[in-house]
Structure 1
Amino acid sequence: MQLDKTDVAILETLQAEGRISNAALAEKVGLSQSACSRRLDILEKNGVVRGYHARLSNAALGHKMTAIVHISLSGQFEKTLADFESAVKRCPNVLSCHLMSGEYDYILRIAAKDLADYERIHRDWLTAMPHVTKINSSFALREVIDRTTMGIDPELA
């Protein structure tokens, strides 16, 4: 999808103010409400805007530990990957999962209450996932940055 300057303005505003009303968004980007609504519908339908959500604090909800987990599988056959991805999607503590190039097949970001909770997740979930041959876990000491917004390349517009 080719974005113009108005699309970029809509996206930048939504990143900063996800709960903004259509009327306020339209005013900020210089469109009528109906034109703004149409553009937003197009951005959503094309997958540029993937959703709207509240950003919750893992620590405030009792998950004070973040683990970064590298996973190796027995192979990268289509069925192997599909089986693993289906299983990892069921684990409620997995915040993100990425198929990788390089030494490991996947990198997961996991929220845990403490080390004992991570041990439970490791035992009950990670080691039980299909085709897993190696698990390497690291624990975050401090979060330095966790962006929810990204710069939008001006050349897109």
Structure 2
Amino acid sequence: MPKLDEFDVAIIDALQDNARATNVEIAEKVNLSQSPCLRRIRALEERGVIRGYRADLDRQAVGLELTVFVAFKVIRHSRENAQEFQQALMEIPEIVSCYMISGDLDFLAEVVVENLAAYERLLTERMLVLPQVTDIRSNFAIRSVKTGGPLKLPPARG
């Protein structure tokens, strides 16, 4: 795990708050001059701490009104099956996040689609036909309480 000092943590917090902030604004916010601030941002990007930047969309405003949490159980637990299944899930763009989990089921995916009919198509045409799947359980979100929040970083070390 890369060591993050207090400046790195402050920069990351500032970018999570507003990824469109200019280097000047970030440098001012974290009490660094512009050049060292920019070098630190570039270093965080190169080390993979900052993976990218993107717009945080309002799902309803863009016509994506249904969020479904889908739990999958797979046939056999093997490295090959897990990798093959994970790759299949990565190729489904409606899956916006996915986790391998412990417990009765093996994977939990967050699916975002236009409506129930779109989810039914996705379920029957893409997910139920995956060869490793033995069970799928769908839980429909009633209301979004919190999504896409910033990560609460541990205290700086170093």
* TM class, shorter-length: over 0.9
- Residues 88 and 129 in structure 1, CA contact (< 8 A), matched pair in contact too: no
- Does residue 37 (structure 1) correspond to residue 38 (structure 2)? The answer is yes
- Residues 66 and 112 in structure 2, CA contact (< 8 A), matched pair in contact too: yes
| 1:95-110 aligned within 5 A | 95-110=96-111
Measured after TM superposition, the shift of residue 134 of structure 1 is 0.4
Measured after TM superposition, the shift of residue 142 of structure 1 is 0.7
Deviations 1:32-64 (A, max 9, x none): 222111111111122211111001122212110
- Does residue 94 (structure 1) correspond to residue 95 (structure 2)? The answer is yes
Q: Which runs of 5 or more residues in structure 1 are unaligned?
A: none
The residue identity in structure 2 corresponding to 1:144 is V
- Does residue 152 (structure 1) correspond to residue 123 (structure 2)? The answer is no
Identity %: 36
Match of 2:12 in 1: 11
Match of 1:71 in 2: 72
- Residues 81 and 132 in structure 2, CA contact (< 8 A), matched pair in contact too: yes
Q: What TM-score do you get using the length of structure 2 for normalisation?
A: 0.93
Task: Give the aligned CA root-mean-square deviation in angstroms.
Answer: 1.3
Question: In 1, distance between residues paired with 2:91 and 2:61?
Answer: 23
- Residues 5 and 156 in structure 2, CA contact (< 8 A), matched pair in contact too: no
- Residues 66 and 111 in structure 1, CA contact (< 8 A), matched pair in contact too: yes
Question: In 2, distance between residues paired with 1:51 and 1:153?
Answer: 20
The residue identity in structure 2 corresponding to 1:55 is D
The residue identity in structure 2 corresponding to 1:78 is R
Measured after TM superposition, the shift of residue 155 of structure 1 is 4.8
Match of 2:113 in 1: 112
The residue identity in structure 2 corresponding to 1:51 is G
Question: In 2, distance between residues paired with 1:49 and 1:131?
Answer: 33
Q: What TM-score do you get using the length of structure 1 for normalisation?
A: 0.94
- Does residue 47 (structure 1) correspond to residue 57 (structure 2)? The answer is no
Measured after TM superposition, the shift of residue 147 of structure 1 is 3.6
How many residues matched?
157
